[in-house]
Amino acid sequence: MNLLISKLADFVGGKVYGNGNLSIRSLAKIQEAKEGDLTFLYLPAYEKYFKDTKASAILVKPGFSKTRNDITYIEVKDPNKAFSKIIIEYFSPDFKLTGIDSSCFIHPDTLIGNNVAIGKNVIISAGCKLGNDVKIFHNSVILEDCEIGDESVIFPNVSIREKSIIGKRVIVHSGTVIGADGFGYFTDEQGKYVKIPQIGNVIIEDDVELGANVTVDRAALGSTIIRRGTKIDNLVQVAHNVEIGEDTVISSQTGISGSTKIGNHCMIAGQVGFIGHIEIADGTVIIAQSGISKSITKPGKYFGTPAKEFNEALRQEAHIRNLSDYSKRIKLLEEELEKIKMKFPASE
């Protein structure tokens, strides 16, 4: 692929400094770029690679010092976002899959829309409904009465349990399990655990993306719900009856306990743990490795275990790091106090 720099600059609303007629063939990270590549620079930590990069063109912020004359620059407000837009428009992978492979088992009661493609060894049980332009890759299993909306993509080795409802343009990556039993038990008179049947389902709304090896458990009663536009990274556990709002992003290794409700437009970093039966306000940001032990009712940034408002958490962390010094200072103060007591004994 050969793309003119001037065309790319127009597409992202940027200004060209250098050769606007230059063609680029590919995209690359700044430290790996070769001649013919377009790269980008938006974090100061990567500026050290600028002097040696082999890239032919680079997306930079306004005011960046353009000290090399052998590189063409596209100046944009947000190079990271501009670079992503170029990837989406010109370099997005085409998930090629056509027709329905003869190795599939598709129950006669399944309703299949137009232009549906199904790969090898896929099993689709009775009562399922597939929309138009759905792609289901190899070795996936879809049990009874599931629905998958238009233009959704199910990658290899996905399991979708009975009665799950998946919206339009949903992407589910390999190894993900939707609708496994929620973790529900009670103890009998002998102290043995007795399984509580999980008779609810999972609802995943439009434009959601689930990474690899995500687990979304079915509800005990009612529905586990992931709402429109939410994006979930690999290795995330969503327990039974959890509700996640619209346009929320959740990073890898996060665990969300049962019946927790997370609001709209939240940002959850990696390895965050949520206790069950709590609510998280819209617009909340939670820093990595935090433990959420109670509801968060006020939007803001939170960190720590248990999580606290971010600035307060930093202050407490600073005190913890200084505990050794505090201990020494307290000991010196105690010694000084003893000297004062000896010098001025209390009157009897």
Same domain, residue pair 262 and 300: yes
Please answer whether residues 294 and 279 qualify as being in contact, where contact means their C-beta atoms are separated by less than 8 angstroms: no
User: 327: part of which helix (H) or strand (E)?
Assistant: helix 323-343
Name the 3-class secondary structure at 324.
helix
Q: Number of structural domains, the chain?
A: 3
**Catalytic: 173?**
no
Same domain, residue pair 165 and 77: no
Residue 225, domain CATH: 2.160.10.10
Query: Is residue 98, in this structure, part of any structural domain at all?
Result: no
Query: Is residue 285, in this structure, part of any structural domain at all?
Result: yes
pLDDT at 348: 52
Residue 24, domain CATH: 3.40.1390.10
Angle between helices 310-321 and 323-343 (to 10 degrees): 60
- For 154-169, b/e burial (b = at least 16 CB within 10 A) is bbbbbbbbbbbbbbbb
Same domain, residue pair 292 and 173: yes
Same domain, residue pair 85 and 122: no
Q: What is the spatial distance between Cα 298 and Cα 250, in angstroms, rounded to a whole number?
A: 19
User: 339: part of which helix (H) or strand (E)?
Assistant: helix 323-343
Query: Is residue 244, in this structure, part of any structural domain at all?
Result: yes
Query: Is residue 99, in this structure, part of any structural domain at all?
Result: no
pLDDT at 163: 98
Pick from 61, 91, 121: which residue ends a domain? 91
pLDDT tens digit at each of 348 positions of the chain: 789 999 999 999 999 999 999 999 999 999 999 999 999 999 999 999 999 999 999 999 999 999 999 999 999 999 999 999 999 999 988 888 999 999 999 999 999 999 999 999 999 999 999 999 999 999 999 999 999 999 999 999 999 999 999 999 999 999 999 999 999 999 999 999 999 999 999 999 999 999 999 999 999 999 999 999 999 999 999 999 999 999 999 999 999 999 999 999 999 999 999 999 999 999 999 999 999 999 999 999 999 999 999 888 888 888 888 889 989 999 999 988 988 888 887 765
Query: Is residue 84, in this structure, part of any structural domain at all?
Result: yes
Query: Is residue 100, in this structure, part of any structural domain at all?
Result: no
Query: 45: burial class by Cβ within 10 Å (0-12, 13-18, 19+)?
Result: exposed
Same domain, residue pair 115 and 85: no
Pick from 69, 91, 113: which residue ends a domain? 91
Same domain, residue pair 235 and 299: yes
**Of the residues 138, 173, 240, 265, which is catalytic?**
240
Same domain, residue pair 206 and 290: yes
Residue 150, φ and ψ in degrees, nearest 5: -55, 140
Same domain, residue pair 265 and 326: no
Query: Is residue 97, in this structure, part of any structural domain at all?
Result: no
pLDDT at 347: 60
Query: Is residue 46, in this structure, part of any structural domain at all?
Result: yes
Pick from 56, 91, 126: which residue ends a domain? 91
Same domain, residue pair 319 and 243: no
The residue segments making up the domain with residue 327 are 312-348
Same domain, residue pair 157 and 283: yes
Same domain, residue pair 168 and 212: yes
Same domain, residue pair 263 and 129: yes
pTM of the model: 0.88
pLDDT at 257: 98
Cβ contacts of residue 9 below 8 Å, gap of 6+? 15, 16, 20, 74
